[in-house]
């Protein structure tokens, strides 16, 4: 008898009251018929998002779980939230496929089945809903924002692996083997460069990566919201990650107890990181 894969959909959010209803409706409608759990990792929303979830979760028949997280640093800590959700998933039931996507509807829930099937079929260990392969589409972004994203991605590709076209896309699908590798290593970055760090770890283990065409919808991504300091930090981080990937290797983490889902996830400062603003999940 063929068993349907158990799927964890891991979505980090912060103040998404304008999008959360459509996001949940999109995910639950698209995955009707699948065996899934939707994990919402909240970084401290204060705009009514939590109150909305408090009403929806009891009506979800156990399909939706909220994981509150303490965000201790300024700036986007999407990577730390993703890692918190990943660790929760590993500690709270066996999942065969892990999915990550943004909470602002820049990633379309309608594309979930294509990525899930890429993993369930055994075609790959990791699938990326890429912005840069044949059939992909990017809307809602200015020319300047597109150009900067493309240039940064080209730089990372040249440092780590050229045949992966979209290191920065957070719409990812991966199997249990890929998921279980990440907590074994010291994760230095809590910011979005976490996506590159995790991919480099996977590549160091020769995991198979495929890219499927995706439709990325830019939302409130004007250049005024992008600070040059952020690009500088990301550049330094990419070089540091490439150094570990190509030369020094990735240090293993100390064995710690699994995250308890009944309490908020906290973080501790990692002074060994390449940037004083980065963080590592605490035990």
Q: Give yes or no for a contact between 211 and 133, defined as CB atoms under 8 angstroms apart.
A: yes
Q: Give yes or no for a contact between 32 and 110, defined as CB atoms under 8 angstroms apart.
A: no
- Model confidence pLDDT, tens digit, residues 141-167: 777 777 777 777 788 888 888 889 888
Residue spans of the domains in the chain: they are 6-281
List of residues 6+ apart from 165 with CB closer than 8 A: 130, 132, 133, 153, 157, 211
**What is the per-residue pLDDT for 282?**
32
**What is the per-residue pLDDT for 234?**
78
Give the fold, CATH level 3, of 6-281.
Spore Coat Polysaccharide Biosynthesis Protein SpsA; Chain A (3.90.550)
**What is the per-residue pLDDT for 263?**
44
Distance CA 33, CA 54 (A): 24
Distance CA 132, CA 122 (A): 23
Higher-confidence position of 143 and 254: 254
Distance CA 249, CA 242 (A): 9
Which residue is listed with tokens 């065969």? 96
| Range name among 181-190, 198-207, 255-264 with the lowest pLDDT average | 255-264
- Model confidence pLDDT, tens digit, residues 40-71: 999 889 999 999 999 999 999 999 999 998 76
Total Cβ atoms within 10 A of residue 75 = 15
**What is the per-residue pLDDT for 9?**
98
**What is the per-residue pLDDT for 46?**
92
**What is the per-residue pLDDT for 73?**
62
- Model confidence pLDDT, tens digit, residues 106-141: 899 999 999 999 999 999 999 999 998 888 888 877
């Amino acid at each position: 008898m063929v068993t349907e894969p158990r799927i964890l959909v891991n979505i980090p959010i912060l103040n998404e009251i304008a999008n959360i209803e459509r996001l949940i409706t999109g995910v639950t409608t698209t995955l009707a018929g699948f065996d899934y759990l939707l994990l919402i990792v909240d970084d401290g929303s204060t705009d009514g998002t939590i109150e909305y979830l408090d009403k929806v979760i009891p009506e979800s028949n156990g399909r939706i779980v909220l994981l509150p997280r303490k965000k201790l640093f300024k700036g986007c800590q999407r990577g730390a939230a993703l890692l918190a959700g990943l660790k929760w998933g590993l500690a709270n039931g066996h999942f065969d496929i892990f999915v990550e996507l943004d909470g602002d509807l820049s990633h379309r829930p309608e594309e979930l089945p294509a990525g899930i099937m890429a993993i369930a079929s055994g075609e790959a260990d990791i699938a990326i809903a890429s912005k840069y392969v044949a059939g992909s589409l990017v809307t809602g972004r200015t020319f300047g924002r597109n150009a900067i994203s493309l240039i940064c991605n080209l730089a990372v590709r040249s440092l780590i692996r050229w045949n992966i076209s979209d290191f920065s896309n957070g719409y990812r699908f991966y199997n249990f083997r890929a998921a279980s590798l990440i907590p074994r290593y010291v994760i230095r970055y809590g910011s979005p460069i976490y996506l590159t760090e995790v991919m480099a770890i996977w590549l160091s283990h020769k995991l198979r990566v495929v890219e499927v065409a995706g439709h990325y919808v830019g939302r409130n991504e004007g250049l005024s919201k992008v600070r040059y300091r952020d690009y500088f930090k990301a550049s330094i981080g990419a070089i540091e990650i490439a150094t570990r990937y190509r030369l020094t290797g990735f240090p293993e983490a100390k064995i710690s107890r699994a995250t308890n889902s009944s309490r908020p996830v906290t973080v501790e400062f990692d002074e060994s990181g390449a940037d004083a603003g980065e963080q590592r999940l605490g035990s």
